Structure 1
Amino acid sequence: MDYLTIAIGVVGGIVGVVAFADAVTRRTDAYPAADKQTKTTWLAITGISGVVLVLGMIPGSLLRAPSLLWLAGLVGVLVYLCDVRPRLREVSGGSSSW
């Protein structure tokens, strides 16, 4: 087993769970106010991406890091964390429910 691949898979899984948890805690009205897709859309994107990333933590699985589907999941959560989340924080006054 390649320990670097396992470490990348674990970090990706954690990032996926954090992105989904953050999307859940944001207010529903903040998404349209930030000129982004609806909360339901981002919950689906981060949820499905998070599941793919968590499954990528399993050594020997078809979704292991860095498979193409795993990379697509990583892109989904990174778009949320780097583009959507900052705009949501601006619109909602810089805080979340956390």
Structure 2
Amino acid sequence: MEIIAGLQRIVFLALSVAAFGLQLWAFIDCLRYKDENYRAVDKQSKKFWVILLGIGLALALIALPPMGMRIIFLNLIALVAGIVYLTDVRPKIKAVDPRNRSRNRNHRR
């Protein structure tokens, strides 16, 4: 039984670190784009995403062991915000970002 409990702790730690990494990536990425890009694709404002993902990042940090099991539900909610940003918002913002357009033109030549 102790082996299973130890294995569960390792898996939980790995998942918590992965969730923190995803939240950190989403938060840093959302800072890269201007507010006008967010508004151009009608995906709230940059301020909204910075606050939402910042709170999510804080929850992911707090959710790392040893506190993790007590607030796992909040971490899951925060993780959803990061996933939504990375899978829905980010690709649309990236598509309208002028920096990406100039890079894409240079690669086609």
Which of 73, 77, 89 aligns to 2:94? It is 89
Residue 77 to residue 64, structure 1, CA distance change in 2 (3 Å): farther
Q: Answer with 1 or 2: which has the greater Rg.
A: 2
1:1-98 matches, cutoff 5 A: 1=6, 2-57=9-64, 59-61=65-67, 63-64=68-69, 67-93=72-98, 95=100
| More relative contact order, 1 or 2 (CA 8 Å, 6+ apart) | 1
User: TM-score scaled to structure 2, two decimals?
Assistant: 0.78
Deviation at 1:60, TM superposition (A): 2.3
* Cα pair 1:30 1:91 within 8 Å, conserved: yes
Q: CA deviation at 1:23?
A: 0.5
- What is the TM-score with the length of structure 1 in the denominator? 0.86
Q: Which runs of 5+ in 2 are unaligned?
A: 1-5, 101-109
Give the root-mean-square deviation of aligned CA atoms.
Answer: 1.8
Question: Residues of 1 paired with 2:61 and 2:25: CA distance?
Answer: 11
Q: Which has the higher helix share?
A: 2
Q: Which runs of 4+ in 1 moved over 2 A?
A: 63-66
